[in-house]
Amino acid sequence: MSSIHLTAAEMASALSKGEVSSVELTKEHLDRIALVDGKINAFLYVDSEGALTQAEAIDKKRAKGGELSPLAGIPIAVKDILAQKGIPTTAGSKILEGWRPPYDATVISKLKAAGVVILGKTNMDEFAMGSSTENSAYGTTQNPWDLSRTPGGSSGGSAAAVAAFEAPLAIGTDTGGSIRQPAALTGIVGVKPTYGGVSRYGVIAYSSSLDQVGPFGRTVLDTALLHEAIAGHDERDSTSINAPVPQVVAAAKRLDVKGMKIGVIKELSGSGFQAGVSARIAESLELLVAAGAEIVEVSCPNFEYALAAYYLIAPSEASSNLARFDSMRYGIRIGDDGSRGAEEVMSATREAGFGKEVKRRIILGTYALSSGYYDAYYGSAQKVRTLVKQDFEKAFAKVDVLVSPVTPTTAFKIGEKSSDPVAMYLSDIATIPVNMAGIGGMSLPVGLAEEDGLPVGLQIMAPLMQDDRFYRVGATLEAALLAKWGKPILSNAPDLAAQK
């Protein structure tokens, strides 16, 4: 009997009772990857040997009666943007092909110390720039619900791996929605913690004032367990918050929203959102009211400018961050034939090593930061950021959490938006304000859209460092939905093993 369909919490319990060993659990997941990953391309690298070695060590420790953390022995998939010592790390880019980092990201160190079994590295849009994984230099990831559709992005490989039962948990990063959007499109839970809540040390930087590492799981509790395992202050990340981690596991077990005020953002509803998405959101609000919450409509008038500001701020920061890929210290080097100077080799390497979207954003950012245009573009975008923050502050003065759809539509077709950058950017319209303000947000699967049978995500947002609030609301709603459906949402997904 396979254990892959258990939740991480159930796996932890089975491990502690001795019903299954970590080696067995790991082998089952490696077998699953071998069986279905050819269809969805979620993994860029599978570290079978490393995973089994870690699993054996945990089983031995458990047999000796050693102290183990809650997730010890449980497999995980990690987005290929986190440096892992000795393991190929590409950030989905050709420019890093073959690079094996000489050190671990803090999140990787924490996972290893907690005894979590790292199965491998997952596919993503190059340098996290994209919303579909179509910008990966190593091929697109397919959505397990429908192989002709994208799983979203940029953390699409991590989301697809969890939705396809290749791993119960995964790590992603979220700069403008890159955890929440793929979670929504694949019917799983994804959380972008408060900015600074999880260390970014060893995470290849895209837009440093927006980037945040976070967890994926199939349930709110699983996601909370992983959140607590990776969160906390890190002296190696100067933007890491030096304060206690919000008690998200306790919040995920509370299952009570009586008296909570939930704000519905007027500007993120109605026209512009697919009917089936809006219907599932409305139904979720009814369930929350039945559970004792109060719904209040709030207005965030400046959110309509957030997307524009994001596509100035993120490319600007990227144009600076990606200057480090200079072909001198690591990564590929092109055209070094002895006749060319360093600058020419650098330019030839960056031309060959970066994909289209990355070049587009570097050039856009270079433009927005150049003298004569700085105030009009980057400066104005920073002012919009202030307005978005103020909109959230005013809203949170009235309510405990805010909600909206995660995405305007369900999963879109591969190729549908790849030739129109502005259309692709629009899929992040509801997730971007959260990154601009630095607050945390969750994507919770709340059912399937009637017109296409694909998953819909509800976004739940809370003030800075109050991440426990969206776990509390998310877990309560998840329980109400499960009671209504009688089975988990992923049981509606097609059988991947039987798919051509």
Write out the E strands in 363-476.
401-405, 440-448, 455-462
Distances from the Cα of 431 to the Cα of 27, 460, 486, angstroms: 36, 10, 30
Beta bridge partners of 75: 117
| DSSP, res 378 | I
Quick check: 97 binds other proteins (CB under 8 A)?
no
User: What string marks each residue from 56 to 95 as x (binds other proteins by CB under 8 A) or -?
Assistant: ----------------------------------------
Quick check: 384 binds other proteins (CB under 8 A)?
yes
Quick check: 45 binds other proteins (CB under 8 A)?
no
Residues in the chain: 500
Distances from the Cα of 255 to the Cα of 250, 251, 404, 474, angstroms: 10, 8, 20, 9
Quick check: 145 binds other proteins (CB under 8 A)?
no
Q: Which of 271, 216, 274, 244 has the alpha carbon at shortest distance from 79?
A: 216
Nearest approach in angstroms of CB 205 to other proteins is: 14
User: What string marks each residue from 156 to 195 as x (binds other proteins by CB under 8 A) or -?
Assistant: ---------------------------------------x
Interface segment toward other proteins; rule CB under 8 A; list 114-122, 155-163, 369-377, 402-410: 369-377
Closer by beta carbon to other proteins, 53 or else 209: 209
Interface segment toward other proteins; rule CB under 8 A; list 222-230, 277-285, 351-359, 403-411: 351-359
Quick check: 398 binds other proteins (CB under 8 A)?
no
Nearest approach in angstroms of CB 390 to other proteins is: 9
Six token digits for residue 392 = 């959230």
Structural element, H or E, at residue 231: none
Determine the size of the site formed for other proteins (CB under 8 A): 70
Q: How far apart are CA 321 and CA 315, in angstroms?
A: 10
Q: Which of 138, 145, 136 has the alpha carbon at shortest distance from 163?
A: 145
Distances from the Cα of 273 to the Cα of 245, 276, 406, 422, 428, angstroms: 34, 8, 10, 17, 12
Closer by beta carbon to other proteins, 89 or else 459: 89
Q: How far apart are CA 455 and CA 34, in angstroms?
A: 25
Nearest approach in angstroms of CB 500 to other proteins is: 36
Interface segment toward other proteins; rule CB under 8 A; list 3-11, 101-109, 166-174, 260-268: 101-109
Quick check: 8 binds other proteins (CB under 8 A)?
no
Six token digits for residue 225 = 């367990």
Six token digits for residue 182 = 């793929």
Six token digits for residue 363 = 């050039």
Structural element, H or E, at residue 247: none
The active-site residue, picked from 21, 69, 136, 178, is 178
| DSSP, res 322 | G
User: Is 154 noted as a catalytic residue in this protein?
Assistant: yes
Q: How far apart are CA 48 and CA 35, in angstroms?
A: 14
Interface segment toward other proteins; rule CB under 8 A; list 22-30, 222-230, 236-244, 289-297: 236-244
Interface segment toward other proteins; rule CB under 8 A; list 163-171, 274-282, 304-312, 405-413: 304-312
Q: Which of 43, 354, 470, 471 binds other proteins (CB under 8 A)?
A: 354
Quick check: 121 binds other proteins (CB under 8 A)?
no
Quick check: 327 binds other proteins (CB under 8 A)?
yes
Residue type, 185: L
Query: Beta 189-192 vs 117-122: how paired, if at all?
Result: unpaired
| DSSP, res 99 | -
Q: Where are the alpha helices (DSSP H) in 253-337?
A: 275-290, 306-321
Tokens 């199965």 belong to residue: 119
Quick check: 376 binds other proteins (CB under 8 A)?
yes
Nearest approach in angstroms of CB 297 to other proteins is: 22
The active-site residue, picked from 79, 121, 192, 417, is 79
Closer by beta carbon to other proteins, 33 or else 91: 91
Q: Is 328 helix (H, G, I), strand (E, B) or coil?
A: coil
Nearest approach in angstroms of CB 216 to other proteins is: 22
Nearest approach in angstroms of CB 414 to other proteins is: 21
Quick check: 196 binds other proteins (CB under 8 A)?
yes
Quick check: 99 binds other proteins (CB under 8 A)?
yes
Using CB under 8 A as the criterion, which residues of the chain lie in contact with other proteins when the complex forms? 99-103, 195-196, 209, 235, 238-239, 241, 302, 305, 308-309, 311-312, 319, 323, 326-333, 336, 338, 340-348, 350-351, 354, 359-360, 362-364, 366-367, 370, 376-377, 379-387, 389, 421-422, 425, 436-439, 464
Residues carrying an active site annotation = 79, 154, 178
